[in-house]
Amino acid sequence: MSDISPHELAGPWKLVSIKTEIAATKEIVDVFGPDPLGYGVFTVDGRWIVIITASGLTEPDNDQQRAAVYNALGAYSGRYKLEGNQLTIKVDVASNPGAIGREQIRFAALNGDRLVLTAPRDRLRRLQGREGIGVVTWERERVS
């Protein structure tokens, strides 16, 4: 794969899909449901900001519903660096406090206005600690 530059990533990206392959079974899971919502923004000077949520949520009325909405949310930001097609994000703020201070490794494939970020195999909180490989597909948002 060819190197990707921050200039090629800079700007807003609309979420297309989030798929996770469970390592043990090869089952594909939509951890945010079949039609997740989300946006991410890469700045040319090295910041990534993202918010993702499941679609179809309603305003919560009680603690159980608030917990469900929280569990259907992923939001974080951090400084990133690119080395070839490897994207490393040092998380500095997140909806999950456990992610703060950690590095996230993603392998980026850029094809025109489509960006696919693949996470290495890891134990995933959203899969109750089972190992999986996450693949997040983004489409460049054209701002007029």
> pTM to 2 decimals?
0.89
Q: Which residues contact 64 (CB under 8 A, 6 or more apart)?
A: none
**Model confidence pLDDT, tens digit, residues 29-47:** 888 888 999 999 999 999 9
What distance lies between CA 32 and its chain's CA centroid? Answer: 11
**5 token code pair:** 């530059």
20: which strand partners?
29, 134
94 with 103: CB under 8 angstroms?
A: no
Q: Say how far apart CA 46 and CA 66 lie, in whole Å.
A: 33
| CATH architecture, domain 6-140 | Beta Barrel (2.40)
Residue type, 9: L
**Model confidence pLDDT, tens digit, residues 130-144:** 778 899 999 999 876
At residue 1, the pLDDT reads 47
